[in-house]
A and B are shown apart, each in its own frame.
Chain A
């Protein structure tokens, strides 16, 4: 009787054993990468806004402080979005006739807020508070990146839990003096490790156990 398989079956069997191991490894690696990809996290994705507002121009060129528009960042959970009146403080005089600013003027006329599209959207099951982070020396750029270089704002980080925990597990690696929180030019290398650790003590940042307790962020 003829053989069921020809001789090449031996090699096919051996190759398929290796292939299964390689494929499984590749699939696992692919998972770890896809799960963190900007396709799933929305990282680096610019959002079209109703007004062509440029942070690069307002922060980078004009040097307006973050808090001029995001007024509640030091006091509440939300950093706050500026009302149209805040825009009109300047734009009733500057570029008052620019067609780009028509949506702002329309909003002011009709008393209807501009519907900005949210760029950093945390899930509802996480409790996040801007004021505590600012009060403990976490700079704006630590999470939001170089906003002063972004004509249109995008999400600089993944906002995944592992990213949050990176800092919650070792805040001394990321904090800066409170005076530098709103400084977009501040560089992490400008203070040494001893200074960072003493900042952590000075600002009374809680222990790692407390900072990584489930209910710190999931209440």
Chain B
């Protein structure tokens, strides 16, 4: 018997560690929002993020006042930081959707304690991403008619044959579905917070947000159906959004962009970058808020494995790009590959990319690195940089050597390119800090389903005990003062 349970433990390691009951799970997660004093490090972190977010505001004002000439992109490199950063941010969001939707449908229990903040990360990343294409139009208030089909006074529609308009629909659908998914998952937890909040303003706000949730069987039934439908809707979005983002490039007849491998290669890259960001966020978070019982070591190892798998797909993409360049026998394609890898002025960015995305993840083959939080964090940071470089390489090395040598020019970002990019990082962390403070960072009720006592049908001798426990916890979600 001992061996069987050990084996079982190895195959399905427990997703909640420590000695937890329904009540202690609820206490531990909701206390972060309701009871505990806001920790000092929160104020420091929020303060820094908020200050950096002001840099974004400044950059946007400067941009709108002066036009996009304040950026470094100019012919032939007409796209640069604006699109690099857009693709980078939107890619980061993908892990959230993958974790929440696909892993839910695949019944992967380990998603449960990381889905909440991974989805929040998705939403905030999409918010950062959406800024770039809007602002790169220079006058976003006029851009409405390029982006949205509405009965404008010019009597014209957007160009439906352009991938840029597909982008608008892909990203806005993605943002809407992600928001709904996140919010629907939050309703039972908001109700828990409502019932436990002592402060009357908090209680009022959480009451509104929880839409009168009482946890009745009918509520749960509808909740389950809605959540499943939304998961079904999000699943194709994981693949479609970044495929369409890749069409921005692959539909254009630019060497290095016009390749059939782009959609899957971009999707894998997005999930790769996204898991790196989830790791960057959850490694410190679980320490600061002592959530090691819920975001366990096993979670980190699993995410490291996903990163390795998707990273290898991305590396395959790099290899195929080179192969296509040679095998196509098109002189422009082959020139682009040579230019990108060794002959051109940006060769260093390509090799930096290979080191960051290709070599660094090879460490994850080894248990020693995969199981070390320090190395996982470090590799994730390196991968995030690498994924940013990937878009830099794709965009700048393809554009800076135009078909005519007379049009060749170098690209270098200017101060306002950098401030805006760094500003969005500040904005992202500002939102994330607010989220950590006011919303349960881990799904309370879903983590409770991971506890052994949630499986009341399991062992008969435990049955009585568990039923009592269930009733007890149900009481705990009632108003505490009643």
Contacts and interface: CB of A to CB of B under 8 A. Distances in A.
Interface of A: 1, 4-5, 9-10, 13, 28, 32, 35-36, 158, 160-163, 165-166
A162 B211 contact: no
Interface stretch (B48-56, B147-155, B248-256, B382-390): B147-155
A161 B155 contact: yes
A158 B156 CA distance: 16
A90 B480 CA distance: 96
Given A4-B194, A4-B203, A13-B212, A161 B156 contact: yes
A1 B196 CA distance: 12
A8 to B, nearest CB: 12
A4 B153 contact: no
A1 B212 CA distance: 16
B146 to A, nearest CB: 13
User: Which of A13, A28, A162 lies at the interface centre, i.e. has the most chain B CB atoms within 10 A of its CB?
Assistant: A162
Given A36-B153, A160-B153, A162-B156, 6 more contacts: A5-B207, A5-B212, A160-B154, A161-B153, A162-B152, A165-B154
Contacts of A36: 153
B176 to A, nearest CB: 14
Interface residues of B, number: 17
B316 interface: no
A165 B153 CA distance: 10
Contact of A13 (B151, B152, B211): B211
Contacts of A28: 150
B481 interface: yes
Contact of B479 (A1, A10, A13, A166): A1
Given A1-B479, A5-B207, A162 B153 contact: yes
B5 interface: no
Nearest to B151: A32
Contacts of A162: 152-156
A69 to B, nearest CB: 32
A163 B154 CA distance: 8
A1 B155 contact: no
A10 B212 contact: yes
B204 interface: yes
User: Which of A4, A9, A162, A163 lies at the interface centre, i.e. has the most chain B CB atoms within 10 A of its CB?
Assistant: A4
A4 B207 contact: yes
Contacts of B480: 1
B265 to A, nearest CB: 35
B482 interface: yes
B194 A158 contact: no
Interface string B178-205: 0000000000000000100000000110
A162 B203 CA distance: 52
Decide if the interface of chain B is mainly helix, strand, loop or mixed: loop
A36 B152 CA distance: 9
A28 to B, nearest CB: 8
A99 B152 CA distance: 48
A4 B194 CA distance: 9
A36 B212 CA distance: 43
Contact of B482 (A1, A10, A161): A1
Contacts of A160: 153-155
A160 B151 CA distance: 13
Contacts of A158: 153
B147 to A, nearest CB: 16
Contacts, number: 37
Contacts of A166: 155
A204 to B, nearest CB: 25
B155 A165 contact: yes
B194 A165 contact: no
A94 B156 CA distance: 51
Contact of A161 (B151, B154, B194): B154
Closest 6 CB pairs of A and B: A162-B155, A161-B154, A1-B479, A1-B481, A160-B153, A165-B155
B159 to A, nearest CB: 11
17 contacts: A1-B479, A1-B482, A4-B194, A4-B203, A5-B207, A5-B212, A13-B211, A35-B152, A160-B153, A160-B154, A161-B154, A162-B152, A162-B154, A162-B156, A165-B155, A165-B156, A166-B155
User: Which of B203, B212, B480 lies at the interface centre, i.e. has the most chain A CB atoms within 10 A of its CB?
Assistant: B212
Contacts of B479: 1
Nearest to A31: B150
A41 to B, nearest CB: 8
Contact of A35 (B153, B194, B204, B211): B153
Nearest to A163: B155
Contacts of B212: 5, 9-10, 13
A5 B207 CA distance: 8
Interface in B131-168: 150-156
Contacts of A4: 194, 203-204, 207
A91 B337 CA distance: 80
Nearest to A32: B151
A9 B213 CA distance: 13
Nearest to A9: B212
Contacts of A35: 152-153
Contacts of B204: 4
A92 to B, nearest CB: 46
Contacts of B151: 32
Nearest to A5: B207
A47 to B, nearest CB: 22
Contacts of B155: 160-163, 165-166
Contacts of B203: 4
Interface string B216-260: 000000000000000000000000000000000000000000000
Nearest to A160: B153
A160 B145 CA distance: 15
Contacts of B482: 1
Nearest to B211: A13
User: Which of A1, A5, A9, A163 lies at the interface centre, i.e. has the most chain B CB atoms within 10 A of its CB?
Assistant: A1
Interface in B302-343: none
Contacts of B152: 35, 162
A137 B284 CA distance: 75
B154 to A, nearest CB: 4
A174 B194 CA distance: 66
Nearest to B478: A1
Contacts of B481: 1
